[in-house]
């Protein structure tokens, strides 16, 4: 059977996958249907941060699925409380609202911020504004793509909701200039992922925190990709020693096997929600809570945050030591690195195809940046295995 041809014939073309058919994976390694082995340097955009098929996650999933899996929030379970209690403790915030996907959690944050603006800040009804960054990526729902600055994400999906103001990422003065009496929140990624692993200037988040405090504005950080150890801290904002009013989490929270997300926030923000104001059939179900709780325990007990910091520094150093005229820039933090490719030499997609042939799974963004985000469980030897092949591909791409 031609799996790729069949998939293309019955699947809407909303993705352009690399030409490989994966069958199984364990840890940082995957195999295709022909048995060829690949080093996973993407980990499903951080969703598989704990590695493929982590035994503790699979055990918790199987045990819970056999007893009580999906119930709506119409009833209590003995699992949701412990899961969210652990989550608020780790984040240093007060209250959590569980959802399924990162985009759902972002939508939750938008609703919460607007209602906070009307109830607490007394912004005139339907006048609340949220400041967002250019080149942001927060998901694919119509509200979210409506405030994207990428034409490809927006084309043909309007009309879009208003109430968003764009500023350049990393420019605190532009944020200050955009704040008005109707500003209820700043919604931003502490490091932009889809834009190409863009790390803002040192002090940027501290400046945003100060602006929010000065003008009575919420600081909401989308850490769906950057959170839970990816950057060498539990959360990327901790590199600047600040605390947001709202924190959006997902991906790794599901242990690589199940969609789990949440908005975690201060009590002041989260008290705007009341029964009927927001909900989700699957959000916070027993299976999700059990998996989420185990995922947090694995990250902590296996010291994956510290591992990300150590292995990430090594990964960055190896990439920066490579000599190739294909590379314009190497940037990142922890085990989250973007390599900007010179488009006059090669496209990032062509490099991904070449890496695939060598047994390394990666993915480009915007045609110019290679992304490397392996599971946090990766070892130095495994990094070396991948880097040796990446270096070979970079050398062949030089003209």
Indicate which residue of 83, 147, 245, 251 is catalytic.
Answer: 251
In the 8-state DSSP scheme, what is residue 124? P
Helices (H) and strands (E) in the chain, counts: 13, 15
- DSSP lists the bridge partners of residue 264 as 96, 247
SS3 at position 329: strand
- DSSP lists the bridge partners of residue 25 as 30
The rounded distance, in Å, linking the Cα atoms of 136 and 187 is 10
- Backbone phi, then psi, for 100, in 5-degree steps? -110, -60
Indicate which residue of 222, 273, 363, 372 is catalytic.
Answer: 222
| Selection from 191, 248, 254, 249 nearest residue 50 by Cα | 254
The rounded distance, in Å, linking the Cα atoms of 393 and 84 is 45
The enclosing H or E element of 218 equals strand 218-222
The question of whether 222 is a catalytic residue gets the answer yes
Instruction: Output the DSSP codes for 132-181.
Output: EETT----SSHHHHHT-S-HHHHTT-------EEEE-TT-HHHHHHH--T
Indicate which residue of 83, 137, 164, 282 is catalytic.
Answer: 137
Sign of CA dihedral 263, 166, 231, 349: positive
- 215 CB burial (10 A radius; 0-12, 13-18, 19+): middle
Task: For residue 159, say if its preceding peptide bond is cis, omega within 30 degrees of 0.
Answer: yes
The question of whether 40 is a catalytic residue gets the answer no
| Selection from 245, 354, 294 nearest residue 56 by Cα | 294
- Catalytic positions are 137, 222, 251
């Amino acid at each position: 059977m031609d799996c790729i041809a069949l998939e293309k014939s019955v699947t809407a073309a909303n993705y352009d996958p690399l030409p490989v058919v994966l069958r199984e994976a364990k840890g940082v390694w995957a195999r295709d249907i022909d048995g060829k082995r690949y080093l996973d340097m993407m980990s499903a955009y951080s969703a598989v941060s704990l590695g493929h098929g982590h035994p503790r996650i699979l055990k918790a999933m199987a045990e819970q699925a056999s007893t009580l899996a999906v119930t709506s929030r119409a009833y209590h379970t003995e699992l949701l409380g412990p899961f969210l209690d652990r989550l608020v403790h780790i984040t240093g915030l007060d209250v959590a609202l569980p959802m399924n996907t990162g985009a759902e959690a972002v939508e939750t944050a938008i609703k919460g911020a607007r209602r906070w603006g009307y109830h607490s800040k007394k912004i005139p009804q339907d006048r609340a504004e949220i400041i967002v960054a250019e080149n942001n990526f927060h998901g694919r729902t119509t509200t979210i793509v409506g405030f994207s600055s990428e034409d490809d994400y927006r084309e043909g999906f309007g009309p879009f909701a208003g109430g968003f103001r764009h500023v350049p990422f990393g420019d605190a003065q532009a944020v200050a200039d955009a704040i008005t009496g109707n500003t209820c929140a700043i919604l931003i990624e502490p490091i932009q992922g889809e834009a190409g692993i863009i790390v803002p200037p040192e002090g940027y988040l501290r400046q945003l925190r100060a602006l929010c405090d000065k003008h009575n504005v919420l600081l909401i950080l989308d850490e769906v990709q950057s959170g839970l150890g990816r950057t060498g801290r539990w959360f990327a904002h901790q590199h600047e020693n600040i605390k947001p009013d709202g924190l959006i989490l997902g991906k790794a929270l599901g242990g690589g096997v199940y969609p789990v997300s949440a908005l975690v926030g201060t009590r002041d923000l989260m008290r705007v929600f009341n029964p009927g104001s927001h909900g989700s059939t699957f959000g916070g179900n027993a299976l999700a809570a059990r998996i989420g709780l185990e995922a947090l325990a694995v990250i902590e007990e296996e010291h994956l945050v510290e591992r990300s910091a150590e292995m990430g520094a090594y990964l960055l150093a190896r990439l920066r030591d490579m000599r190739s005229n294909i590379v314009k820039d190497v940037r990142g933090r922890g085990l989250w690195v973007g390599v900007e490719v010179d488009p006059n030499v090669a496209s990032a997609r062509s490099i991904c195809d070449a890496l695939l042939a060598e047994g390394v799974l990666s993915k480009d963004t915007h045609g110019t940046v290679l992304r490397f985000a392996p599971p946090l469980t990766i070892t130095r030897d495994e990094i070396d295995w991948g880097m040796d092949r990446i270096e070979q591909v970079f050398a062949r791409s030089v003209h």
